[in-house]
Amino acid sequence: MTSERAPGQRWGRWLQDAASAGGTGGLNWHLHALASLKRWEETLSVIDGFLNRVSPPSDHLLLLGGSAGWMMPPAWLQRFRQIDAYDIDPLAPWLFKLRHGKSLKASGTDIRFHRADAIAGLPSLLKQHPQACIWFDNVLGQQRYRMGDEEVAERQLGQLQRLLRGREWGSLHDMYSGPTDAQTSAQRHPKTLTRAGTTLEPDEAQTQQLLQLLDAQGIWQDHATRVVFPPGTATQLIPWAFRPHYWHWLEAGWVKPSN
């Protein structure tokens, strides 16, 4: 019975992940990203600037949740000799190659794709690739949807710093997202903010400032990512017009083994 069902279950999961990756990616994400690249230009250029200031000594990158790399600057990827990309979305390798294949070929970067849960499997990935630096590419803020529970996601995300101790790593992730005022926020793009040091405790004044800057309306989601970086990590807070009237605040940071 089990062996008869297993291939069907595998295909069911494949299809689910190809369609939406549990609400975190898949075809849904690819079509939305393709249609939104123009509106995201300013956000992409800030991510580009952030990553280009990060120069890890390792020439091996573990790229986690990179999807097709819609928001990834090619020049940063080109600095690596080897990239191991992990994503649950079966469409990610084909689309990533379409978007970045040519420039990676030009830089001689060898990219290997793996279809796997990179968060649940992180301890083993770190052991398999002891010299690599790690980039969580807008994936950690999706955990609360994947786990279906904010508290479980926050507990899991809070373990990452310990698992990653001694490694060089960074993350771009959602902090908050929600609807914005239809009249104003579509026309203006607030500036990126810098945060001198992260704290595990919520900073209510800062949260209010972030919401006001985007003319937040209605109910906003907290992506439970406050616990990701070790306290004191300097980060950049980046506004992102995910949809014309539905914005996100992203956070980007990089942690060195000595942090």
Ligand X SMILES: C[S@@+](CC[C@H](N)C(=O)[O-])C[C@H]1O[C@@H](n2cnc3c(N)ncnc32)[C@H](O)[C@@H]1O
Q: How far is residue 151's CA from residue 149's CA, in Å, rounded to a whole number?
A: 6
Cβ 204 to ligand X shortest distance, Å: 27
Query: Which residues are CB-contacts of 115 (< 8 A; sequence separation ≥ 6)?
Result: 17, 86, 87, 88, 89, 90, 92, 93
Scored b (16 or more CB within 10 A) or e, 31-54 reads: eebeebeeebeebbebbbebbeeb
For ligand X, the closer of residues 68 and 252 by Cβ is: 68
For ligand X, the closer of residues 5 and 13 by Cβ is: 13
Nearest by Cα to 255 from 173, 194, 171 = 171
CA distance readout (Å), 215 to 18, 238, 239: 34, 15, 12
Cβ 257 to ligand X shortest distance, Å: 24
Q: Which residue sits closest to ligand X, CB atoms considered?
A: 25
For ligand X, the closer of residues 172 and 216 by Cβ is: 172
For ligand X, the closer of residues 69 and 215 by Cβ is: 69
Binding residues for ligand X, per CB under 6 A? 21, 24-25, 29, 33, 65-72, 86-89, 92, 117-119, 137-139, 142, 146
For ligand X, the closer of residues 174 and 215 by Cβ is: 174
Cβ 130 to ligand X shortest distance, Å: 20
CA distance readout (Å), 59 to 73, 129, 191: 16, 12, 32
